Amino acid sequence: MVLAGQGWLALGRHFATILETPFLPYCLIGAFAIHFWTRPGRSECMATLALGAASALAFILWSGRYRFDWPSSIASGSFFGLASLAVLAVQTIRLESAAQKEKLETLMAGGVFGYSALFIAYILNFTTRLHPRTYDLYLYAADAGYGLPIGAWVGKFVGARPLLLHACSLVYESLPLAVSLLYAYQRSGRKQLPVRVLPAFLGGGGAAYLLYNFLPATGPHYIFGAAFPEHLPSAAEAGLRMVTVGDAARNAVPSMHLACALMIFWACRPLAAWVRAAAAVFLALTILATLGFGEHYVVDLVAAIPYAAALMGICSTRQAKAPVPALVLTLGWMAALRFGTPLFASHTFTWLASIATALVCLIYNEGWALSTEPASRASTTNLLGAEPT
């Protein structure tokens, strides 16, 4: 199944899937990172590198789709991930007992990100069909409650700085690679992370899909087009109504990009100072990207904070508090944005609600982050829990 899927990705569509799905190449590079972080034998490393290099070279020379740009370069690197999956598939078949089980778990972990990227892209298309009209203007009106055009300011700030723009683009697209690296570190067993990576990130993405159908929205870039960020209308001019949007995924609120970046930042707390600093930079650039590209509203990001906290609590590797407060805040924000938009006409309410949400989540996270008691053995030694015996 793995090899057939790779054949379809690389040959069946003439490499179109790899080039047209922005997150997929980073997922495949992440599979390569997960594979090599398990420290495979020398012959396995050589076979993977040789197969990856040959595949990348064939893509560059003979596919007819390679261009001298960043997407094509990243696509070339993704063939090393495909090579890792192929070698792991062969190793799973030829080995036995504990060695086979270890390779199978690595194969599943490396493959799940790539195939989930394709699956998520597929199911998000259903949100477009199910919800031709969105609540974007409700979120836009809620953003006006801050009294400041924060989204427009960030959009202008990022757009006027080419280097920052490229950095934000890289961070925004490479989220799957960051999650893969976090999981690869967890598989190494060097130090226990406070969260089970696969359930938190993949399960969180699946649960977010349900929320997207409760409050379908796309982002100001898709509503206002070229008017973003320089010539955005006031909330009063835009009005408060459902609006018909074209072919764009309804995945604005809560922002899974911010939720994932927050979870990465929180999960890296036990690690070295330079790793925490890198996670902080990744988080900051994600905030700038989500707002600067017009993919999200400010309230999307605020709603993502308790959602990330809830996922961290549910998928914790430690004996933590129940995630009820974070879940209540998440659902409360979703309900308020859909049914209580007039509340955000008050600047006081908007700022106090946002600050209180952030503080509650910070206090909640301190509770489980400072806990040193491990969770039950059953929840930490399986594939999804990830720390091997």
Same domain, 121 and 147: no
Q: pLDDT band for 244, please (50, 70, 90 cuts).
A: very high
Q: Is it the case that residue 370 has pLDDT exceeding 60?
A: no
Beta strands in the chain (DSSP E): 133-134, 243-244
| Confidence category of residue 322, pLDDT binned at 50, 70, 90 | low
Is residue 376 within 8 Å of residue 175, measured between CB atoms?
A: no
101 with 197, same domain?
no
- Taking the C-alpha atoms of residue 140 and residue 144, their distance in angstroms, rounded to an integer, is 6
Two tokens, residue 12 = 């069946």
Statement to judge: residues 324 and 291 lie in one domain = yes
Q: What pLDDT, on the 0 to 100 scale, is given for residue 14?
A: 59
Q: What is the DSSP letter of 64?
A: S
Same domain, 175 and 30: no
Which pLDDT score, from 0 to 100, does residue 387 have?
43
- C-alpha–C-alpha distance, residues 109 and 100, integer Å: 14
Q: Residue 375 above 60 pLDDT?
A: no
Helix (H) or strand (E) holding 59: helix 42-62
Beta-carbon-side half-sphere exposure of residue 9 (alpha carbons within 13 Å): 27
Q: Are residues 219 and 344 in the same domain?
A: yes
* Angle ∠(143,145,149) on CA atoms, nearest 5: 55
Residues 285 and 150 in one domain: yes
Decide if pLDDT at 365 tops 90: no
Q: What does the alpha-carbon distance between residue 261 and residue 171 come to, in Å, rounded to a whole number?
A: 10
If you average pLDDT over residues 24-46, what whole number do you get? 91
The model's confidence at residue 64, banded by pLDDT at 50, 70 and 90, is confident
Cα–Cα distance measured from residue 214 to residue 315, given in angstroms and rounded to the nearest whole number: 24
The pLDDT of 23-46, averaged and rounded, is 90
238, 141 contact by CB (below 8 A) = yes
Q: Which two tokens stand for residue 118?
A: 């394709």
Angstrom distance (rounded) from CA 247 to CA 67: 26
Range of the domain at 79: 1-130
**Which of 81, 107, 130 is the last residue before a domain boundary?**
130
pLDDT for the residue 17: 62
Distances (CA, A) of 45 to 7, 39, 51, 61, 188: 21, 9, 10, 24, 17
Sort residue 149 into left (φ over 0), alpha (ψ -120 to 50) or beta.
Answer: beta
Residues 99 and 145 in one domain: no
User: pLDDT tens digits for 37-63?
Assistant: 988 999 999 999 999 999 889 888 887
State the average pLDDT over residues 134-161.
95
Per the structure, how many domains does the chain have? Answer: 2
Tell me: the pLDDT tens digits for 88-125? 999 999 888 898 999 998 998 888 877 777 777 778 88
Determine the Cα–Cα distance for residues 106 and 40; give it in Å rounded to an integer. Answer: 11
Contact present, 81 and 30 (Cβ < 8 Å): yes
How many whole angstroms separate alpha carbon 317 and alpha carbon 320? Answer: 8
User: Per residue in 148-200, pLDDT tens?
Assistant: 999 999 999 999 999 999 999 999 999 999 999 999 898 877 788 888 998 99
C-alpha closest to that of 154 among 299, 298, 265? 298
Domain co-membership, 117 together with 136:
no
Q: Which of 124, 104, 121, 118 is nearest to 27 (CA)?
A: 118
Q: Euclidean distance between the first and final Cα of the chain, in Å?
A: 28
Q: What angle do CA 74, 108, 11 make, to 5 degrees?
A: 45
Same domain, 184 and 88: no
Same domain, 149 and 199: yes
Task: For residues 114 and 152, state if they share a domain.
Answer: no
Q: What pLDDT, in 10s, does the model give residues 216-242?
A: 999 999 999 999 999 999 999 999 999
Q: How far apart are CA 113 and CA 111, in angstroms?
A: 6
Please tell me the predicted confidence (pLDDT) of residue 373. Answer: 47
Tens digit of each residue's pLDDT (9 = 90 or more) over 249-298: 899 999 999 999 999 999 998 899 999 999 999 999 999 999 999 999 99
Question: Is 378 a residue whose pLDDT tops 70?
Answer: no
Asked if pLDDT for residue 202 goes beyond 80, the answer is: yes
Q: Are residues 104 and 197 in the same domain?
A: no
- pLDDT at position 346 is 95
Per-residue pLDDT at 343 exceeds 60: yes
- Tokens encoding 202: 């993949």
Q: What is the mean pLDDT of residues 195-212?
A: 90
pLDDT on residue 190 = 78
Question: Residue 381 pLDDT > 50, yes or no?
Answer: no
d(CA 293, CA 224): 12
Answer for the pair 193, 264: CB distance below 8 angstroms, yes or no. Answer: no
More confident residue, 21 or 362: 362
> Prior bond to 270 cis, omega within 30?
no
Which of 96, 130, 164 delimits the end of a domain? 130
Which of 111, 130, 149 is the endpoint of a domain? 130
What's the rounded Cα separation, in Å, for the pair 363 and 313? Answer: 12
31 alpha carbon, distance to own chain's centre: 15
